[in-house]
A and B are shown apart, each in its own frame.
Chain A
Amino acid sequence: EIVMTQSPATLSVSPGQRATLSCRASQSVSTNLAWYQQRPGQAPRLLFYGASTRATGIPARFSGSGSGTEFTLTISSLQSEDFAIYYCQHYSDFPTFGQGTKVEIK
């Protein structure tokens, strides 16, 4: 099983500031990596697939990067609706998720 580790567990950021979230795989997953956003009380929503391809309707302030074992999700200027939990997931074989990073208002 490929283990996905996200850091930090919680990120406190002021509105308008930049947020950088990390996801590490225990072995290479190439670019078979997705990011999801989950707002309170809602189902997760796809943000990125292929590590860096933005899903339909995702604002340009979100960007994804990385390959192999190291991945990054960046939100360039946090808006109120961006405060949520973010999960990475690989699909290189049996999928596994990271434990999530909660982005909270500072």
Chain B
Amino acid sequence: EVQLVESGGGLVQPGGSLRLSCKASGFNFSSYWMSWVRQAPGKGLEWVGTIKNDGREKFSVDPFKGRFTVSRDNAKNSLFLQMDSLRVEDTAVYYCVRDGLLVTAWFDPWGQGTLVTVSS
């Protein structure tokens, strides 16, 4: 069974840092691009960033560039999201998702999500 399990969420003060982890199983992790998607309370889905299968290239957009870093350890079938300079508006459930083979694609499956709360 293909499975993604996130961990590392919690309460952090504004300006603080947090590192999320995602443990993958049931598929050849090193072959797939991987991504993070977030969902603020009561809101829609927002793509955070993507990393290629070999970890050599990463993609993100302006709200996250310079603050959030996606990385991976293929030997440990793990994906990470390092979040720095956190803001109240970063409060959300963060999902780890499997992306495509060789190109970005649809997201399947999704992890159960981990809640990050940024508050003083």
Contacts and interface: CB of A to CB of B under 8 A. Distances in A.
A96 B47 contact: yes
B45 A89 contact: yes
Contacts of A46: 106-109
A97 B38 CA distance: 11
User: Chain B binding site: helix, strand, loop or mixed by DSSP?
Assistant: loop
Given A43-B111, A43-B112, A94-B61, A89 B106 contact: yes
- Give the contact-size bracket for chain A: 20 to 34
Contacts of B113: 43
A87 B95 CA distance: 15
Contacts of B26: none
Given A1-B61, A43-B111, A94-B59, A49 B45 contact: no
A55 interface: yes
Given A55-B108, A89-B107, A91-B105, A44 B61 contact: no
B110 A44 contact: yes
A45 B110 contact: yes
30 contacts: A1-B61, A36-B45, A43-B95, A43-B113, A44-B45, A44-B107, A44-B110, A45-B109, A45-B110, A46-B106, A46-B107, A46-B108, A46-B109, A49-B105, A49-B106, A55-B108, A87-B44, A89-B107, A91-B104, A91-B105, A93-B104, A94-B47, A94-B61, A95-B50, A95-B104, A95-B107, A97-B44, A97-B45, A97-B46, A97-B47
Interface of B: 35, 44-47, 50, 59, 61, 95, 100, 104-113
Among all A-B residue pairs, the 6 with the closest Cβ atoms: A34-B106, A46-B108, A49-B106, A43-B110, A97-B45, A95-B47
